[in-house]
């Protein structure tokens, strides 16, 4: 069986980007605490605002999932937990 060279070249095309990101991470530079908190808050709002669409998608993807699955209970709690794990500074 011949390897898929197209997939291999696609993976390799991201190597430079990966290396730059890895090098930047190694410097210890990160986004500000305020920026990270804002991103978590925005993610929480996005999930809450799109809860019905997400429920529909989950029900379609996982036939055994009920349409009554509620993200409303887990999203605020998860966002609060992740925010509590951030360190200021």
Q: Which pLDDT score, from 0 to 100, does residue 2 have?
A: 57
Put simply, whether the predicted model's pTM sits higher than 0.95 gets the answer: no
> Which residues of the chain carry a pLDDT beneath 50?
none
Asked if 79 and 44 touch (Cβ cutoff 8 Å), the reply is yes
Q: Which two tokens stand for residue 60?
A: 């379609």
**Whole-angstrom distance, CA of residue 63 vs CA of residue 7:** 31
Query: pLDDT tens digit string along 45-61?
Result: 998 898 888 888 887 88
Q: Which pLDDT score, from 0 to 100, does residue 1 have?
A: 54
């Amino acid at each position: 069986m011949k390897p898929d060279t197209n997939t291999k070249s696609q993976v390799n095309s991201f190597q430079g980007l990966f290396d730059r990101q890895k090098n930047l991470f190694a410097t210890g530079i990160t986004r500000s605490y305020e920026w990270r908190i804002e991103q978590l808050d925005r993610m929480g709002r996005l999930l809450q605002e799109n809860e019905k669409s997400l429920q529909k998608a989950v029900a379609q993807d996982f036939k055994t999932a009920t349409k009554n699955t509620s993200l409303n209970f887990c999203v605020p709690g998860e966002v609060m937990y992740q925010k509590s794990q951030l360190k200021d500074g």
